[in-house]
Each structure stands twice: as structure tokens, then as C-alpha cells.
Amino acid sequence: MESILIVDEVYKKVIDEQREFDILRNISFTLNSGDFAAVYGPSGSGKTTLLSICGGLQEPTSGDIILENTNLYKQSKEDLMEFRHKHIGFVHQYLHFFPHLNTIQSIISPLLPQKLSQQDIMDRAKSTLSQVNLENLEEQDPYQLSNEEKKRIAIARAIITNPTLLLIDEPTGNVDSNTGNEIMNLLASLNQNGQTTLVFTHDPEILRYANRIFEIKNRTVLEMFKNWY
């Protein structure tokens, strides 16, 4: 099985009021192509920091993040931005939408820097909306959408570039349990179609969807057997 993500001895330290402390300590793990993995831990354990580091958004104090044989933080800022745009999709816990953009306008924004024709962009957008079961809502404005529909749009926006890796922060956050199940079933379906996915969560219910589970404990990561919970 091909390893597409290597997290190697990552540390993150911060200095606060003259005191240095670790947010993350000696984080090491790998993801294989096609994995649906979960990083599990309580709020404040460093999950969001680790997501940012894995996604090329926040440089670690030391250690390496290698995605598709590219060491993210050995690149220039410009090259890293371009690489991140092509290879990494993000779904953040708190969804952000411009109120003046409808559904289809929201999801095509990651494609705009690419040299694609308008027809290619619209074809990709409609195909992606079909993947997340929103093909009938392309003209809807954000205020007309439910929380579940907004989550689906955020996922569509993240996968429209066909990213190598999909990173998701608290996929069931701010929704009820039924909606959470629908979102997780959608992510599982995308994974079955080949989308490598890494979710960051404090919700143990999510772990049943994952084929690999990493627990953050004492600021480091331990891989757990799937049936550990």
C-alpha cells in the first residue's frame, strides 16, 4: 500500500509570557492511499493545530510533513500555496459562506485560479454537487439552506479540485445526531470512491467509520486498533 502522507517527528512549541510549552510532541504516523483515518482526542488536545500543520497552514517547530513525496515546509511560501491548492481539501468546523454567493458559486471558488474554461468549471461543479446529493440546490442562497446542506456544500467545495487528501475538522460538530450520521455516510461514500480522508474529532461515534484511528494523548499520537472503543 502506497503511503501518501508521512508525518515525521513533528513538534510544535509556543512561547506564552516567557514560558515555552509543547502543543504537540513527537507526532509520527503515515496515511496510505484510500485510508479513512481519524485523529481522536478531547478539545484542547492539539487536534486543530495538527490539522493545520498537516494541511500546510502552520509550520511545525520541527519535523516533516511529506505529502505525495513533497516535503511541505521545505518549499517556498508560493510553491506551498500552489501545492496546497492542488492537493489538499479542507472542511473546517465553522463553515464560512459569502452571503451574496449561491450554492454553485460557493463551490467553484477553488477552481477559479486554474486555467479552466467556464464550461469545464460548470461541468465540474455540477458533477461535484451530484456527488454530495445537492444537484437540485445550485441556485440556493446560504440563508435558504439547512445545516446539513451547508456541510455538504463545504465538502463539495473541498473536493471539487480532486484533492489527494481531504482534511476535516469535527465533521459532526454543530449538527444533530441524524444529520451527523448523514454527513459521515457521505464521507464514507466518497472514501469508497477513492478519496483519502483524515478527520479530526472528539466524537467517538465517528470512529466506527475509520479504518485507522490515531489518539492524541499527552500531546503525542498513538495508533489504536479499530475495536479499541
Which pLDDT tens digit goes with each residue over 72-102?
Answer: 999 999 999 999 999 999 998 877 777 788 8
Q: Between these two residues, 164 and 141, which has the higher pLDDT value? A: 164
Least confident stretch, 63-77, 100-114, 198-212 = 100-114
pLDDT of residue 226: 64
Q: Residue 1 above 70 pLDDT?
A: no
Q: What is the pLDDT of residues 110-136, one digit of tens each?
A: 888 888 888 999 899 999 999 998 888
Least confident stretch, 59-73, 141-155, 189-203 = 141-155
Q: Residue 229 above 60 pLDDT?
A: no
The CATH number assigned to the domain with range 3-224 reads 3.40.50.300
Q: Where are the domains of the chain?
A: 3-224
Mean pLDDT of 128-151: 84
Q: Cα torsion at 112, 107, 158, 94 (round to 10°)?
A: 120
Mean pLDDT of 18-47: 92
pLDDT band at 227 (very low <50, low <70, confident <90, very high): low
Residue 98 CA, distance from chain mean position: 20
Q: What is the pLDDT of residues 35-57, one digit of tens each?
A: 999 999 998 899 999 999 999 99
Backbone torsions φ then ψ of 52, nearest 5 degrees: -60, -40
Q: Between these two residues, 17 and 73, which has the higher pLDDT value? A: 73
Residue 29 CA, distance from chain mean position: 16
Least confident stretch, 32-41, 59-68, 88-97, 155-164 = 88-97
Residues in a beta bridge with 12: 24
